[in-house]
Structure 1
Amino acid sequence: MLNKPRIGVIGIPGKWSTEVLADRLEERTGFRAVIDMSQVELRLDTQQLMYQGLDLMTLDGLIIKKISETYSPATEDRIHLLSYAERAGVKLFSPTHSVGNLVNRLSGTLALQQGNIPMPKTRITESAEQAFATVREFGSAILKPLYSTKARGMIILTPADSDEVVRDALEKYRHTQSIYYIQQTVELDGRDLGMVFIGGEYLCTYARVGNKDAWNTTINSGGKYELFEPDADLIELGRRAQSCYDLSFTTVDIALTNQGPVVFEVSAFGGFKGALEGCNIDAASAYATYVLQSCGLSEGTQP
Protein backbone atom coordinates (compact mmCIF):
# COMPACT_ATOMS: atom_id res chain seq x y z
CA MET A 1 0.00 0.00 0.00
CA LEU A 2 1.28 3.45 -0.87
CA ASN A 3 1.81 5.85 2.01
CA LYS A 4 0.60 9.43 1.92
CA PRO A 5 3.30 12.09 2.37
CA ARG A 6 3.56 13.79 5.73
CA ILE A 7 4.64 17.44 5.68
CA GLY A 8 4.67 19.46 8.91
CA VAL A 9 4.25 23.23 9.18
CA ILE A 10 6.48 25.10 11.62
CA GLY A 11 4.39 28.11 12.60
CA ILE A 12 2.20 29.89 15.09
CA PRO A 13 -0.89 27.80 15.92
CA GLY A 14 -4.06 29.78 15.22
CA LYS A 15 -2.41 32.32 12.93
CA TRP A 16 -4.04 32.57 9.51
CA SER A 17 -0.91 32.15 7.37
CA THR A 18 0.16 29.07 9.34
CA GLU A 19 -3.25 27.45 9.36
CA VAL A 20 -4.06 28.11 5.69
CA LEU A 21 -0.82 26.42 4.62
CA ALA A 22 -1.61 23.44 6.85
CA ASP A 23 -5.11 23.42 5.30
CA ARG A 24 -3.73 23.27 1.76
CA LEU A 25 -1.38 20.41 2.64
CA GLU A 26 -4.14 18.49 4.41
CA GLU A 27 -6.40 18.86 1.36
CA ARG A 28 -3.75 17.13 -0.75
CA THR A 29 -2.35 14.56 1.66
CA GLY A 30 -4.81 14.00 4.51
CA PHE A 31 -2.03 14.80 7.01
CA ARG A 32 -1.91 17.90 9.19
CA ALA A 33 0.70 19.01 11.74
CA VAL A 34 1.15 22.58 12.94
CA ILE A 35 4.28 22.71 15.08
CA ASP A 36 5.03 25.30 17.75
CA MET A 37 8.81 25.41 18.18
CA SER A 38 8.51 26.50 21.81
CA GLN A 39 7.15 23.00 22.55
CA VAL A 40 9.71 20.98 20.54
CA GLU A 41 12.24 18.78 22.35
CA LEU A 42 15.46 17.48 20.79
CA ARG A 43 16.38 14.12 22.32
CA LEU A 44 19.97 13.49 21.36
CA ASP A 45 20.08 10.20 23.24
CA THR A 46 17.32 8.71 21.06
CA GLN A 47 17.90 10.90 17.98
CA GLN A 48 14.36 12.23 18.04
CA LEU A 49 12.88 15.71 17.55
CA MET A 50 9.58 15.51 19.41
CA TYR A 51 6.45 17.63 19.32
CA GLN A 52 3.36 16.45 21.23
CA GLY A 53 4.15 12.79 20.63
CA LEU A 54 5.13 13.29 16.97
CA ASP A 55 8.76 12.61 16.00
CA LEU A 56 9.54 15.25 13.38
CA MET A 57 12.43 13.06 12.18
CA THR A 58 9.84 10.69 10.68
CA LEU A 59 8.23 13.31 8.44
CA ASP A 60 8.89 13.69 4.71
CA GLY A 61 9.40 17.43 5.09
CA LEU A 62 9.01 20.51 7.27
CA ILE A 63 7.94 23.94 6.07
CA ILE A 64 9.22 26.82 8.18
CA LYS A 65 6.29 29.20 7.82
CA LYS A 66 7.02 31.18 10.97
CA ILE A 67 9.67 30.12 13.45
CA SER A 68 8.71 32.59 16.19
CA GLU A 69 6.24 35.42 16.80
CA THR A 70 9.11 37.90 17.09
CA TYR A 71 12.73 37.59 16.00
CA SER A 72 15.52 37.40 18.57
CA PRO A 73 18.84 35.58 19.04
CA ALA A 74 16.74 32.76 20.54
CA THR A 75 15.21 32.29 17.09
CA GLU A 76 18.59 31.05 15.91
CA ASP A 77 18.50 28.34 18.59
CA ARG A 78 15.28 27.04 17.06
CA ILE A 79 16.94 26.97 13.65
CA HIS A 80 19.72 24.80 15.10
CA LEU A 81 17.14 22.31 16.36
CA LEU A 82 15.59 22.07 12.91
CA SER A 83 18.99 21.70 11.27
CA TYR A 84 19.37 18.43 13.20
CA ALA A 85 16.41 16.98 11.29
CA GLU A 86 17.68 18.51 8.06
CA ARG A 87 21.09 16.84 8.40
CA ALA A 88 19.31 13.53 9.00
CA GLY A 89 17.53 13.83 5.65
CA VAL A 90 14.24 15.62 6.41
CA LYS A 91 13.65 18.22 3.70
CA LEU A 92 13.34 21.77 5.05
CA PHE A 93 11.51 24.55 3.24
CA SER A 94 13.40 26.91 3.30
CA PRO A 95 16.78 25.38 4.19
CA THR A 96 17.91 26.33 7.68
CA HIS A 97 21.11 28.06 6.53
CA SER A 98 19.03 30.45 4.39
CA VAL A 99 16.55 31.19 7.16
CA GLY A 100 19.40 31.78 9.60
CA ASN A 101 20.99 34.35 7.30
CA LEU A 102 17.76 36.33 7.11
CA VAL A 103 16.58 36.25 10.71
CA ASN A 104 19.45 38.64 11.53
CA ARG A 105 19.04 41.87 9.55
CA LEU A 106 22.80 42.45 9.34
CA SER A 107 23.67 39.11 7.74
CA GLY A 108 20.72 39.47 5.38
CA THR A 109 21.87 42.94 4.34
CA LEU A 110 25.44 41.79 3.72
CA ALA A 111 24.23 39.06 1.37
CA LEU A 112 22.29 41.63 -0.68
CA GLN A 113 25.26 43.97 -0.76
CA GLN A 114 27.54 41.18 -1.95
CA GLY A 115 24.99 40.46 -4.68
CA ASN A 116 25.21 44.09 -5.88
CA ILE A 117 21.54 44.69 -5.13
CA PRO A 118 20.59 48.41 -4.93
CA MET A 119 19.64 49.33 -1.37
CA PRO A 120 19.12 52.52 0.63
CA LYS A 121 22.37 53.95 1.97
CA THR A 122 23.20 51.96 5.11
CA ARG A 123 25.82 52.24 7.87
CA ILE A 124 26.58 49.86 10.74
CA THR A 125 28.70 50.71 13.78
CA GLU A 126 29.03 50.12 17.52
CA SER A 127 30.15 53.72 18.10
CA ALA A 128 27.52 56.14 19.39
CA GLU A 129 29.48 59.09 18.01
CA GLN A 130 29.78 57.53 14.58
CA ALA A 131 26.07 56.75 14.67
CA PHE A 132 25.23 60.36 15.58
CA ALA A 133 27.39 61.68 12.74
CA THR A 134 25.75 59.26 10.29
CA VAL A 135 22.24 60.31 11.29
CA ARG A 136 23.15 63.96 10.79
CA GLU A 137 24.81 63.20 7.45
CA PHE A 138 21.79 61.22 6.22
CA GLY A 139 19.30 63.90 7.32
CA SER A 140 16.36 61.52 7.63
CA ALA A 141 17.34 58.10 8.92
CA ILE A 142 15.83 54.97 10.40
CA LEU A 143 17.35 52.96 13.23
CA LYS A 144 16.46 49.33 12.54
CA PRO A 145 16.70 46.50 15.09
CA LEU A 146 18.73 43.51 13.96
CA TYR A 147 15.84 41.20 14.86
CA SER A 148 12.41 42.51 13.88
CA THR A 149 9.57 42.25 11.37
CA LYS A 150 6.82 44.58 10.14
CA ALA A 151 8.76 47.73 11.16
CA ARG A 152 8.56 46.80 14.85
CA GLY A 153 11.07 48.67 16.99
CA MET A 154 12.24 50.97 14.21
CA ILE A 155 12.98 54.60 15.11
CA ILE A 156 12.75 57.35 12.50
CA LEU A 157 14.83 60.51 12.88
CA THR A 158 14.51 63.70 10.83
CA PRO A 159 16.50 66.89 10.28
CA ALA A 160 13.96 68.68 12.51
CA ASP A 161 15.04 66.59 15.51
CA SER A 162 17.42 68.35 17.87
CA ASP A 163 20.82 66.90 18.73
CA GLU A 164 19.42 66.01 22.15
CA VAL A 165 16.51 64.09 20.59
CA VAL A 166 18.85 62.20 18.27
CA ARG A 167 21.25 61.27 21.08
CA ASP A 168 18.35 60.15 23.29
CA ALA A 169 17.03 57.97 20.48
CA LEU A 170 20.45 56.42 19.92
CA GLU A 171 20.75 55.68 23.63
CA LYS A 172 17.28 54.13 23.75
CA TYR A 173 18.05 52.00 20.71
CA ARG A 174 21.28 50.69 22.23
CA HIS A 175 19.44 49.45 25.33
CA THR A 176 18.21 46.51 23.25
CA GLN A 177 20.68 46.36 20.34
CA SER A 178 24.35 45.35 20.20
CA ILE A 179 25.16 47.52 17.19
CA TYR A 180 23.69 50.50 15.34
CA TYR A 181 22.03 49.68 12.01
CA ILE A 182 21.22 53.00 10.33
CA GLN A 183 19.51 53.38 6.97
CA GLN A 184 18.82 56.57 5.08
CA THR A 185 15.14 57.09 4.35
CA VAL A 186 14.02 57.11 0.73
CA GLU A 187 11.22 59.10 -0.86
CA LEU A 188 8.25 56.79 -1.43
CA ASP A 189 5.09 57.55 -3.37
CA GLY A 190 3.03 56.22 -0.47
CA ARG A 191 3.60 52.56 -1.31
CA ASP A 192 6.18 49.83 -1.54
CA LEU A 193 6.07 46.48 -3.27
CA GLY A 194 6.04 42.84 -2.23
CA MET A 195 7.31 40.58 -5.00
CA VAL A 196 6.53 36.90 -4.38
CA PHE A 197 8.74 33.99 -5.47
CA ILE A 198 8.25 30.24 -5.03
CA GLY A 199 11.33 28.09 -5.58
CA GLY A 200 13.04 31.06 -7.26
CA GLU A 201 10.19 31.47 -9.77
CA TYR A 202 8.20 34.70 -9.95
CA LEU A 203 4.56 34.46 -8.82
CA CYS A 204 3.13 37.99 -8.48
CA THR A 205 3.63 41.49 -7.09
CA TYR A 206 1.39 43.46 -4.75
CA ALA A 207 1.70 47.00 -3.46
CA ARG A 208 1.37 47.98 0.18
CA VAL A 209 -0.31 51.38 0.13
CA GLY A 210 0.34 53.34 3.29
CA ASN A 211 -2.01 55.08 5.67
CA LYS A 212 -1.28 58.80 5.25
CA ASP A 213 -0.91 59.13 9.03
CA ALA A 214 1.91 56.54 9.26
CA TRP A 215 5.55 56.83 8.15
CA ASN A 216 5.68 53.23 6.91
CA THR A 217 3.40 51.22 4.61
CA THR A 218 3.03 48.08 6.73
CA ILE A 219 -0.40 46.56 7.19
CA ASN A 220 0.18 46.83 10.95
CA SER A 221 0.24 50.61 10.49
CA GLY A 222 -3.00 50.76 8.51
CA GLY A 223 -1.72 50.04 5.01
CA LYS A 224 -3.65 48.01 2.45
CA TYR A 225 -2.80 45.68 -0.43
CA GLU A 226 -3.27 46.46 -4.12
CA LEU A 227 -2.30 44.72 -7.35
CA PHE A 228 0.88 45.96 -9.03
CA GLU A 229 2.11 45.00 -12.50
CA PRO A 230 5.95 45.25 -12.63
CA ASP A 231 7.93 45.45 -15.82
CA ALA A 232 10.52 42.84 -16.80
CA ASP A 233 13.43 44.85 -15.34
CA LEU A 234 11.77 45.13 -11.94
CA ILE A 235 10.98 41.41 -11.87
CA GLU A 236 14.62 40.71 -12.72
CA LEU A 237 15.73 42.89 -9.79
CA GLY A 238 13.49 40.89 -7.46
CA ARG A 239 14.77 37.63 -8.90
CA ARG A 240 18.40 38.71 -8.37
CA ALA A 241 17.67 39.79 -4.80
CA GLN A 242 16.03 36.51 -3.76
CA SER A 243 18.76 34.54 -5.53
CA CYS A 244 21.23 35.86 -2.93
CA TYR A 245 19.69 33.16 -0.74
CA ASP A 246 18.29 29.67 -1.28
CA LEU A 247 14.64 30.19 -0.37
CA SER A 248 11.63 28.02 -1.06
CA PHE A 249 9.15 30.87 -0.60
CA THR A 250 9.88 34.55 -0.11
CA THR A 251 8.68 38.10 -0.58
CA VAL A 252 11.15 40.74 -1.80
CA ASP A 253 10.37 44.22 -0.45
CA ILE A 254 11.06 46.83 -3.15
CA ALA A 255 10.60 50.60 -3.13
CA LEU A 256 10.27 52.78 -6.22
CA THR A 257 12.21 56.02 -5.65
CA ASN A 258 13.31 58.98 -7.73
CA GLN A 259 16.76 57.36 -7.75
CA GLY A 260 15.35 54.10 -9.14
CA PRO A 261 14.12 50.96 -7.39
CA VAL A 262 15.80 49.78 -4.19
CA VAL A 263 15.42 46.59 -2.19
CA PHE A 264 14.60 46.97 1.49
CA GLU A 265 14.88 43.30 2.37
CA VAL A 266 14.14 39.72 1.43
CA SER A 267 11.81 37.91 3.81
CA ALA A 268 12.93 34.72 5.52
CA PHE A 269 9.39 33.37 5.23
CA GLY A 270 7.07 35.67 3.29
CA GLY A 271 3.34 36.01 3.76
CA PHE A 272 0.29 34.82 1.83
CA LYS A 273 -2.19 37.60 2.53
CA GLY A 274 -0.64 40.17 0.18
CA ALA A 275 -0.79 37.78 -2.76
CA LEU A 276 -4.39 36.84 -1.90
CA GLU A 277 -5.77 40.33 -1.25
CA GLY A 278 -3.59 42.22 -3.72
CA CYS A 279 -3.26 39.72 -6.58
CA ASN A 280 -6.17 37.31 -5.94
CA ILE A 281 -3.69 34.41 -5.93
CA ASP A 282 -3.72 31.58 -3.39
CA ALA A 283 0.02 31.52 -2.71
CA ALA A 284 -0.43 28.97 0.10
CA SER A 285 -1.88 26.51 -2.40
CA ALA A 286 0.90 27.16 -4.90
CA TYR A 287 3.51 26.71 -2.17
CA ALA A 288 1.97 23.42 -1.00
CA THR A 289 2.11 22.11 -4.57
CA TYR A 290 5.76 23.18 -4.90
CA VAL A 291 6.73 21.47 -1.64
CA LEU A 292 5.09 18.17 -2.59
CA GLN A 293 6.72 18.21 -6.01
CA SER A 294 10.12 19.04 -4.46
CA CYS A 295 9.78 16.02 -2.20
CA GLY A 296 9.21 13.87 -5.28
CA LEU A 297 5.67 13.24 -4.10
CA SER A 298 2.43 13.40 -6.00
CA GLU A 299 -0.52 15.08 -4.32
CA GLY A 300 -1.56 12.20 -2.14
CA THR A 301 0.89 9.35 -2.73
CA GLN A 302 4.56 8.67 -2.63
CA PRO A 303 6.58 5.85 -4.20
Structure 2
Amino acid sequence: MARLAVLGRRASWHVAQIALACGRRGVECDVLPVQAIAAAVGDGGRSSGVRAGGTPLDAYDAVLVRALPAGSLEQVVFRMDALHRLARHGVRVVNHPAALERTVDKFYTSALLEEAGIPTPATRVVQGFAEAMEAFLAMGDVVLKPLFGSEGRGMVRLADPDTAYRVLRAWEGIGAVFYMQEFVPHGGRDVRALVVGGEVVAAIERRAEGWKTNVAAGGRAVPFALPAGWADLAVRAAAAVGAEHAGVDLLPAPGGRVLVHEVNGIPGWRGLQQATGVDVADVLVGHVLGRRRAV
Protein backbone atom coordinates (compact mmCIF):
# COMPACT_ATOMS: atom_id res chain seq x y z
CA MET A 1 0.00 0.00 0.00
CA ALA A 2 1.27 3.45 -0.92
CA ARG A 3 1.84 5.84 1.97
CA LEU A 4 1.45 9.61 1.86
CA ALA A 5 2.42 12.04 4.61
CA VAL A 6 0.52 15.33 4.57
CA LEU A 7 2.11 18.19 6.48
CA GLY A 8 -0.79 20.32 7.62
CA ARG A 9 -3.72 20.72 10.00
CA ARG A 10 -6.23 17.92 10.53
CA ALA A 11 -9.01 20.51 10.76
CA SER A 12 -8.20 21.89 7.29
CA TRP A 13 -10.85 21.35 4.59
CA HIS A 14 -8.11 20.79 2.02
CA VAL A 15 -6.37 18.17 4.16
CA ALA A 16 -9.70 16.40 4.67
CA GLN A 17 -10.23 16.33 0.88
CA ILE A 18 -6.77 14.84 0.38
CA ALA A 19 -7.46 12.18 3.03
CA LEU A 20 -10.73 11.26 1.30
CA ALA A 21 -8.98 10.99 -2.06
CA CYS A 22 -6.34 8.74 -0.51
CA GLY A 23 -9.03 6.54 1.02
CA ARG A 24 -10.73 6.08 -2.35
CA ARG A 25 -7.40 5.08 -3.88
CA GLY A 26 -6.40 2.70 -1.09
CA VAL A 27 -3.54 4.98 -0.05
CA GLU A 28 -2.51 5.28 3.59
CA CYS A 29 -2.60 8.96 4.55
CA ASP A 30 -1.08 10.36 7.73
CA VAL A 31 -1.59 14.02 8.65
CA LEU A 32 1.37 15.42 10.56
CA PRO A 33 1.93 18.93 11.92
CA VAL A 34 4.80 20.97 10.52
CA GLN A 35 5.46 22.22 14.06
CA ALA A 36 6.34 18.65 15.09
CA ILE A 37 9.23 18.28 12.63
CA ALA A 38 12.45 17.16 14.32
CA ALA A 39 15.75 15.91 12.95
CA ALA A 40 18.77 13.84 13.90
CA VAL A 41 22.28 13.94 12.45
CA GLY A 42 25.08 11.42 12.94
CA ASP A 43 23.50 8.12 11.94
CA GLY A 44 26.01 7.59 9.17
CA GLY A 45 23.64 8.78 6.47
CA ARG A 46 21.45 5.69 6.78
CA SER A 47 18.29 7.81 6.62
CA SER A 48 17.17 11.39 6.27
CA GLY A 49 16.88 11.64 10.05
CA VAL A 50 13.79 13.83 9.74
CA ARG A 51 10.64 13.02 11.71
CA ALA A 52 7.28 14.61 12.44
CA GLY A 53 5.59 13.66 15.69
CA GLY A 54 8.01 10.75 16.05
CA THR A 55 7.23 9.37 12.58
CA PRO A 56 10.19 9.04 10.14
CA LEU A 57 9.23 10.98 7.03
CA ASP A 58 11.48 8.97 4.73
CA ALA A 59 9.22 5.96 5.39
CA TYR A 60 6.58 7.48 3.08
CA ASP A 61 6.31 7.31 -0.69
CA ALA A 62 5.83 11.07 -0.73
CA VAL A 63 5.41 14.08 1.54
CA LEU A 64 2.79 16.65 0.52
CA VAL A 65 3.18 20.07 2.12
CA ARG A 66 -0.18 21.71 2.80
CA ALA A 67 0.88 24.31 5.37
CA LEU A 68 3.83 26.51 6.24
CA PRO A 69 2.68 28.09 9.51
CA ALA A 70 4.14 31.29 10.85
CA GLY A 71 6.84 31.11 13.47
CA SER A 72 10.09 32.66 14.57
CA LEU A 73 12.84 33.08 11.99
CA GLU A 74 14.66 30.10 13.52
CA GLN A 75 11.55 27.89 13.36
CA VAL A 76 10.77 28.76 9.74
CA VAL A 77 14.40 28.28 8.61
CA PHE A 78 14.69 24.94 10.42
CA ARG A 79 11.47 23.62 8.90
CA MET A 80 12.67 24.49 5.40
CA ASP A 81 16.13 23.02 6.13
CA ALA A 82 14.47 19.77 7.20
CA LEU A 83 12.39 19.60 4.03
CA HIS A 84 15.50 20.23 1.94
CA ARG A 85 17.27 17.40 3.79
CA LEU A 86 14.40 15.07 2.97
CA ALA A 87 14.56 16.02 -0.71
CA ARG A 88 18.34 15.56 -0.82
CA HIS A 89 17.87 12.05 0.58
CA GLY A 90 15.53 11.14 -2.25
CA VAL A 91 12.19 11.64 -0.51
CA ARG A 92 9.57 13.04 -2.87
CA VAL A 93 8.48 16.36 -1.36
CA VAL A 94 5.68 18.27 -3.14
CA ASN A 95 6.06 21.07 -3.71
CA HIS A 96 9.84 20.90 -3.52
CA PRO A 97 11.10 23.11 -0.69
CA ALA A 98 12.91 25.35 -3.20
CA ALA A 99 9.58 26.01 -4.93
CA LEU A 100 7.94 26.75 -1.60
CA GLU A 101 10.66 29.29 -0.77
CA ARG A 102 10.17 30.97 -4.14
CA THR A 103 6.39 31.18 -3.98
CA VAL A 104 6.00 32.22 -0.34
CA ASP A 105 8.07 35.33 -1.14
CA LYS A 106 6.31 37.71 -3.54
CA PHE A 107 9.53 39.46 -4.58
CA TYR A 108 11.22 36.15 -5.36
CA THR A 109 8.21 35.09 -7.43
CA SER A 110 8.01 38.39 -9.33
CA ALA A 111 11.74 38.33 -10.12
CA LEU A 112 11.59 34.76 -11.44
CA LEU A 113 8.54 35.53 -13.58
CA GLU A 114 10.30 38.48 -15.18
CA GLU A 115 13.47 36.45 -15.75
CA ALA A 116 11.37 33.79 -17.51
CA GLY A 117 9.86 36.39 -19.84
CA ILE A 118 6.42 36.17 -18.25
CA PRO A 119 4.53 39.50 -18.13
CA THR A 120 3.84 40.69 -14.59
CA PRO A 121 2.73 44.05 -13.15
CA ALA A 122 5.36 46.72 -12.54
CA THR A 123 6.63 46.25 -9.00
CA ARG A 124 8.83 48.17 -6.60
CA VAL A 125 10.26 46.65 -3.42
CA VAL A 126 11.99 48.92 -0.91
CA GLN A 127 12.81 48.97 2.79
CA GLY A 128 12.48 52.61 3.81
CA PHE A 129 9.59 55.07 4.08
CA ALA A 130 11.17 57.72 1.84
CA GLU A 131 11.82 55.20 -0.93
CA ALA A 132 8.29 53.84 -0.55
CA MET A 133 6.74 57.30 -0.94
CA GLU A 134 8.95 57.93 -3.95
CA ALA A 135 7.81 54.66 -5.54
CA PHE A 136 4.15 55.44 -4.80
CA LEU A 137 4.39 58.93 -6.32
CA ALA A 138 6.08 57.50 -9.42
CA MET A 139 3.36 54.88 -9.99
CA GLY A 140 0.40 56.89 -8.66
CA ASP A 141 -1.94 53.97 -7.94
CA VAL A 142 -0.52 50.90 -6.25
CA VAL A 143 -1.42 47.80 -4.28
CA LEU A 144 0.74 47.45 -1.18
CA LYS A 145 1.10 43.78 -0.25
CA PRO A 146 2.77 41.88 2.59
CA LEU A 147 5.87 40.20 1.21
CA PHE A 148 4.62 36.94 2.73
CA GLY A 149 0.90 36.20 2.68
CA SER A 150 -2.02 34.88 0.65
CA GLU A 151 -5.77 35.09 0.12
CA GLY A 152 -5.62 38.87 -0.16
CA ARG A 153 -4.95 39.35 3.55
CA GLY A 154 -3.22 42.62 4.41
CA MET A 155 -3.32 44.12 0.92
CA VAL A 156 -4.04 47.86 0.69
CA ARG A 157 -4.72 49.93 -2.40
CA LEU A 158 -3.10 53.37 -2.29
CA ALA A 159 -4.22 56.05 -4.73
CA ASP A 160 -4.21 59.16 -2.52
CA PRO A 161 -0.93 60.73 -1.29
CA ASP A 162 -2.28 61.53 2.20
CA THR A 163 -3.55 58.00 2.69
CA ALA A 164 -0.32 56.59 1.29
CA TYR A 165 1.69 58.68 3.75
CA ARG A 166 -0.23 57.39 6.76
CA VAL A 167 -0.26 53.74 5.66
CA LEU A 168 3.42 53.68 4.71
CA ARG A 169 4.35 55.30 8.02
CA ALA A 170 2.40 52.58 9.82
CA TRP A 171 4.17 49.85 7.85
CA GLU A 172 7.50 51.50 8.61
CA GLY A 173 6.69 51.19 12.30
CA ILE A 174 6.42 47.41 12.11
CA GLY A 175 9.62 47.01 10.10
CA ALA A 176 7.81 45.82 6.98
CA VAL A 177 9.30 45.50 3.51
CA PHE A 178 7.30 47.64 1.08
CA TYR A 179 6.20 45.45 -1.83
CA MET A 180 4.27 47.80 -4.14
CA GLN A 181 2.64 46.67 -7.36
CA GLU A 182 1.01 48.91 -9.93
CA PHE A 183 -2.77 48.79 -9.79
CA VAL A 184 -4.04 47.35 -13.06
CA PRO A 185 -7.70 48.20 -13.83
CA HIS A 186 -9.53 44.87 -14.11
CA GLY A 187 -13.21 45.63 -13.56
CA GLY A 188 -13.35 43.45 -10.44
CA ARG A 189 -12.37 40.31 -12.34
CA ASP A 190 -9.33 38.08 -12.64
CA VAL A 191 -8.63 34.41 -13.34
CA ARG A 192 -7.21 31.64 -11.14
CA ALA A 193 -5.75 28.68 -13.02
CA LEU A 194 -4.80 25.53 -11.11
CA VAL A 195 -1.75 23.81 -12.56
CA VAL A 196 -0.87 20.23 -11.62
CA GLY A 197 1.94 18.32 -13.29
CA GLY A 198 2.43 20.82 -16.09
CA GLU A 199 -1.25 21.00 -17.04
CA VAL A 200 -4.12 23.32 -16.16
CA VAL A 201 -6.70 21.07 -14.51
CA ALA A 202 -9.33 23.78 -13.96
CA ALA A 203 -9.78 27.54 -14.01
CA ILE A 204 -12.20 30.05 -12.59
CA GLU A 205 -12.98 33.68 -13.09
CA ARG A 206 -13.16 35.50 -9.77
CA ARG A 207 -15.63 38.35 -9.60
CA ALA A 208 -16.05 41.04 -6.95
CA GLU A 209 -17.68 44.41 -6.49
CA GLY A 210 -14.39 45.98 -5.40
CA TRP A 211 -10.80 45.49 -6.50
CA LYS A 212 -10.05 42.43 -4.32
CA THR A 213 -11.17 39.32 -6.19
CA ASN A 214 -9.89 36.59 -3.84
CA VAL A 215 -12.62 34.09 -2.97
CA ALA A 216 -11.39 34.17 0.64
CA ALA A 217 -11.99 37.94 0.59
CA GLY A 218 -15.57 37.62 -0.70
CA GLY A 219 -15.08 37.14 -4.43
CA ARG A 220 -17.39 34.84 -6.41
CA ALA A 221 -16.02 32.01 -8.54
CA VAL A 222 -17.45 30.91 -11.89
CA PRO A 223 -15.98 28.33 -14.31
CA PHE A 224 -13.71 29.82 -16.95
CA ALA A 225 -12.53 28.28 -20.21
CA LEU A 226 -8.91 29.36 -20.55
CA PRO A 227 -7.78 30.39 -24.01
CA ALA A 228 -4.79 28.32 -25.12
CA GLY A 229 -2.39 31.22 -24.71
CA TRP A 230 -3.56 31.86 -21.15
CA ALA A 231 -3.16 28.19 -20.22
CA ASP A 232 0.37 28.20 -21.62
CA LEU A 233 1.15 31.31 -19.57
CA ALA A 234 -0.10 29.61 -16.38
CA VAL A 235 1.97 26.48 -17.03
CA ARG A 236 5.06 28.57 -17.76
CA ALA A 237 4.55 30.56 -14.56
CA ALA A 238 4.38 27.40 -12.44
CA ALA A 239 7.50 26.08 -14.17
CA ALA A 240 9.34 29.37 -13.59
CA VAL A 241 9.13 28.85 -9.82
CA GLY A 242 9.62 25.07 -10.01
CA ALA A 243 6.15 24.23 -8.69
CA GLU A 244 4.56 20.87 -9.53
CA HIS A 245 1.20 22.27 -8.51
CA ALA A 246 0.27 25.91 -8.15
CA GLY A 247 -2.52 28.42 -8.25
CA VAL A 248 -1.63 30.97 -10.91
CA ASP A 249 -3.46 34.30 -10.90
CA LEU A 250 -3.94 35.85 -14.33
CA LEU A 251 -4.94 39.47 -14.73
CA PRO A 252 -6.50 40.68 -18.00
CA ALA A 253 -5.13 44.18 -18.52
CA PRO A 254 -5.95 47.07 -20.86
CA GLY A 255 -4.69 46.67 -24.42
CA GLY A 256 -5.30 42.91 -24.52
CA ARG A 257 -2.40 42.09 -22.21
CA VAL A 258 -2.57 39.23 -19.73
CA LEU A 259 -0.34 39.51 -16.66
CA VAL A 260 0.61 36.95 -14.03
CA HIS A 261 0.42 38.69 -10.69
CA GLU A 262 0.81 35.79 -8.28
CA VAL A 263 1.84 32.12 -8.10
CA ASN A 264 0.75 30.25 -4.98
CA GLY A 265 2.77 27.14 -4.13
CA ILE A 266 0.25 25.91 -1.53
CA PRO A 267 -2.94 26.84 -3.37
CA GLY A 268 -6.44 26.69 -2.01
CA TRP A 269 -9.05 25.23 -4.34
CA ARG A 270 -12.33 25.15 -2.42
CA GLY A 271 -14.00 27.86 -4.52
CA LEU A 272 -12.55 26.42 -7.71
CA GLN A 273 -13.80 22.92 -6.93
CA GLN A 274 -17.27 24.16 -6.03
CA ALA A 275 -17.46 26.15 -9.26
CA THR A 276 -16.03 23.54 -11.65
CA GLY A 277 -16.82 20.20 -9.99
CA VAL A 278 -13.23 19.03 -10.50
CA ASP A 279 -12.01 16.74 -7.71
CA VAL A 280 -8.74 18.57 -7.23
CA ALA A 281 -7.55 16.45 -4.31
CA ASP A 282 -7.85 13.29 -6.42
CA VAL A 283 -5.90 14.89 -9.27
CA LEU A 284 -3.23 16.05 -6.83
CA VAL A 285 -2.86 12.73 -5.02
CA GLY A 286 -2.71 10.95 -8.38
CA HIS A 287 0.06 13.24 -9.53
CA VAL A 288 2.07 13.06 -6.31
CA LEU A 289 1.97 9.25 -6.26
CA GLY A 290 2.27 8.87 -10.04
CA ARG A 291 -1.15 7.30 -10.54
CA ARG A 292 -4.09 7.98 -12.76
CA ARG A 293 -7.27 9.47 -11.40
CA ALA A 294 -9.60 7.17 -9.48
CA VAL A 295 -12.57 5.93 -11.51
Contact 2:223 2:275 in 1 (8 A): yes
Root mean square deviation of aligned Cα: 2.2
Contact 2:62 2:92 in 1 (8 A): yes
Residue 84 (structure 1) aligned with residue 80 (structure 2): no
Match of 1:194 among 192, 198, 223: 192
Residue 108 (structure 1) aligned with residue 87 (structure 2): no
2:258 counterpart residue number: 261
CA deviations over 1:64-100 (Å, ceiling 9, x no partner) = 12222x5885544322111111111111111111111
CA deviations over 1:125-168 (Å, ceiling 9, x no partner) = 22322211221222211111111111212222113x42xx3222
1:50 counterpart residue number: 51
Distance 1:217 1:299 in 2: 31
Contact 1:35 1:51 in 2 (8 A): yes
Taking structure 1 as the reference length, what is the TM-score of the superposition?
0.88
**Partner AA of 1:187 in structure 2:** P
Gaps of 5+ in 2: none
1:63 counterpart residue number: 64
1:118 counterpart residue number: 119
Contact 1:29 1:299 in 2 (8 A): no
Report % sequence identity: 22
- Residue 30 of structure 1: how far off its partner (Å): 4.0
Distance 1:123 1:48, change over 3 A: same
Within a 5 Å distance, the mapping from 1:1-303 to structure 2 comes to 4-45=1-42, 48-68=49-69, 70=70, 73=73, 74-159=75-160, 161-162=161-162, 165-210=163-208, 212=209, 214-259=210-255, 260-293=257-290
**Partner AA of 1:143 in structure 2:** L
What SS does the aligned partner of 2:29 have? coil
- Residue 21 of structure 1: how far off its partner (Å): 1.0
Q: What is the aligned length?
A: 288
- Residue 178 of structure 1: how far off its partner (Å): 4.5
What SS does the aligned partner of 1:243 have? helix
- Residue 298 of structure 1: how far off its partner (Å): 8.3
Taking structure 2 as the reference length, what is the TM-score of the superposition?
0.90
Distance 1:299 1:28, change over 3 A: farther
What SS does the aligned partner of 1:194 have? strand
Distance 1:50 1:37 in 2: 10
Gaps of 5+ in 1: none
Distance 2:293 2:271 in 1: 25
CA deviations over 1:271-291 (Å, ceiling 9, x no partner) = 221331121101110111111
Distance 1:177 1:18, change over 3 A: farther
Distance 1:12 1:143, change over 3 A: same
Contact 1:194 1:251 in 2 (8 A): yes
Contact 2:128 2:172 in 1 (8 A): no
